[in-house]
């Protein structure tokens, strides 16, 4: 039976900004663009067993599953 794991992704990209606060705002605005410009090998992954991702609860559907089974069903051992 599959288990749940939390994946944390780290990657770097560069923005042009006036100061740190501006860089943070611009950086957040370009996260999806930067990620789509990268190869899957340009990121670092940290893997932790269990569900600790911010905002994920028992009603979320994890990536890599059947697309229907919710997090709480994995945790309760349901099939």
Domain assignment of residue 12, given as a range:
5-75
For a pLDDT cut of 90, what percent of the chain falls above it?
A: 90
Question: Hey, what are 30's tokens?
Answer: 């370009």
pLDDT, position 78: 55
- Our count of domains for the chain comes to 1
Q: Does the pTM of the predicted model rise above 0.85?
A: no
How many other CB atoms are there within 10 angstroms of residue 62's CB atom?
Answer: 20
pLDDT > 90? residue 79: no
Q: What's the pLDDT tens digit per position in 17-30?
A: 999 999 999 999 99
- What pLDDT, on the 0 to 100 scale, is given for residue 71? 94
Q: How far apart are CA 6 and CA 30, in angstroms?
A: 23
- What percentage of residues in the chain have a pLDDT greater than 70? 95
């Amino acid at each position: 039976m599959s288990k749940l794991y939390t994946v944390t992704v780290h990657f770097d990209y560069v923005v042009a900004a006036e100061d740190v606060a501006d860089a943070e705002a611009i950086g957040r605005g370009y996260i999806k663009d930067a990620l789509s410009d990268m190869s899957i090998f340009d990121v670092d992954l940290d893997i932790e067993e269990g569900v600790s991702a911010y905002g994920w609860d028992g009603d979320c559907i994890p990536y890599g599953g059947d697309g229907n089974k919710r997090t709480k069903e994995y945790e309760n051992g349901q099939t």
